[in-house]
Structures are given as structure tokens and as C-alpha cells.
Structure 1
Amino acid sequence: MILWFTFVQVGVAVIAGLLCVVLGLAGRRPSDLSVAGLALLELLLIAQIIVAIIAPLAGNPPTGSLLEFWVYLVSAALIPPAAVAWALLERSRWSTVIMGIGALAVAVMVWRMQAIWTIQVA
């Protein structure tokens, strides 16, 4: 993993998550703004999948469990589309909050993936 890219992903996830939680608690239903934050997060996760495929070939192998890393990455990539699908099926203020919680969960998962890739020894 690339450290600066991890910081970008965590930053976008936290900003999108807090935005969605605040909008949801303010009574706002899912909108283009809240969905766009999760769409950007999903694009970053897809880019992370590509980086995770190329990095070991370029001489940057993980120090931790490769299986654990990929489980985190695939799970994190599934959360934003699932949260958006839920929000579009049930258009309430709570679905916006759920999108925010999903984005915050992705932030924690990306940080854990960085730890698995760089710090942990298998």
C-alpha cells in the first residue's frame, strides 16, 4: 500500500461519513451530495484494488497476512455500494446516517489494511 494514498482514502471516508451522519441527523434524505461522497470513496477503493495487485509485482509485498488484507479490501469495497443501495431503497433520514456509518467503517478498515501491509509480521 502507498501511505499517502491511505491518508487520502481515510480522509475522504471520514469526511463523507461525517457529512452523511450530520445530514441524516439534520433530517435530510439521501441526495446527490451524500451519494457522491460514497461514490468517490468507492472509486478510491477500486484504485486500491489495482494498487494491491500491482504493488507486490513492483517489489512492495505485504508484511502481514495477504488473505486477511484481501478480505478487508473486498469487504471495504462492498460496503459503499451496499449502503447506497439501502439508502435508495429506503429513502429516510436514517438511511443517510447508515451511509455515514458505512463510510466511517471503511475508514477504519483502510487504516487496518495499511497496518497489515506495512507493520504486521506474518
Structure 2
Amino acid sequence: MIIGFTLVQVAVAGVAALMCIALGLAGRVPNDLTMGALLLVELLLIAQLVTAIIAPSVGNDASGSLLEFYTYQVSVLLVPPAAVFWALVDRSRWATVILGAGCLTVGIMVYRMQQIWGA
């Protein structure tokens, strides 16, 4: 994995998490801004998957467990769609907080994936 890209992903997920949690606690229901934040996080995760597939062929091999890394990769790809599904079903302010919790989860998992890749 590329450390710079990981830092960008963690930063974007962190900002999106803070925004969604703050808006949810302020009483706002899920809207285009909060859903768009999760879309951006998901697009970065898809780009990371492509990067992780290509990286070994250009000499950036993982030094940790590939099984553990790809288990994290597949799992983290499911978090934003699950949070968005929850927000679409439960249109309350707490659904916006759940969107933030999903972003926070993504940030933590991406950081851990970087640790696994470069262990």
C-alpha cells in the first residue's frame, strides 16, 4: 500500500466522520452531503482495492498476512453501503450519527490495513 494514499483515506474518513456525527447530534437527518461523504469514502476504498491488487506486480509486496489484509479489504468495502442502507431505512438524526460511525470504522480499518501490509 502507499502510505500517502492511506493518510489521505484516513483523513477523508475522519473529516466525514466528524461532520456526520456533528450534524447528527445537531438533529439533522441524512442528506446529500452526508451520503456524498460516504460515497467519497467508498470510492477511495475501491481505488485502494485496485492499488492493492496491482501493487505486488510492481514490486510493492506485502510483508504481513495477505489473507488478513484482504479479509480487512473486503470487510471495509461493506461498511459504507451498510451505513447508507441503515440511513435510508431509518431517516432520523441517529442515522446520520451511524453514517459518522461508519466513516470512523473505515478510518480505523484502513490504518490497520497499512500496518498489516508493512508489518
| TM-score normalised by structure 1 residue count | 0.96
Say whether 1:79 aligns with 2:79: yes
Deviation (angstroms), 1:23: 0.4
RMSD of aligned Cα (Å): 0.5
Counterpart check, 1:113 vs 2:107: no
Q: Deviations over 1:29-61 (max 9, x none)?
A: 000000011000000000000000000111111
Q: Could you tell me which residue of structure 2 aligns to residue 70 of structure 1?
A: 70
Q: How many residues align?
A: 119
Distance 2:117 2:76 in 1: 15
- What letter matches 2:17 in structure 1? G
Question: In 2, distance between residues paired with 1:35 and 1:97?
Answer: 12
The one-letter code matched in structure 2 to 1:95 is: A
Show the counterpart of 2:61. Answer: 61
Q: Percent identity?
A: 61
Question: How far does the alpha carbon of each residue in 1:64-121 deviate from its partner, in whole angstroms, 9 at most, with x for none?
Answer: 0001001111111110011011101110000000010010011000000000001x2x
Structure 2 unaligned spans of 5+: none
Q: Following superposition of structure 1 onto structure 2, how do residues 1-122 of structure 1 map, counting pairs within 5 Å?
A: 1-118=1-118, 120=119
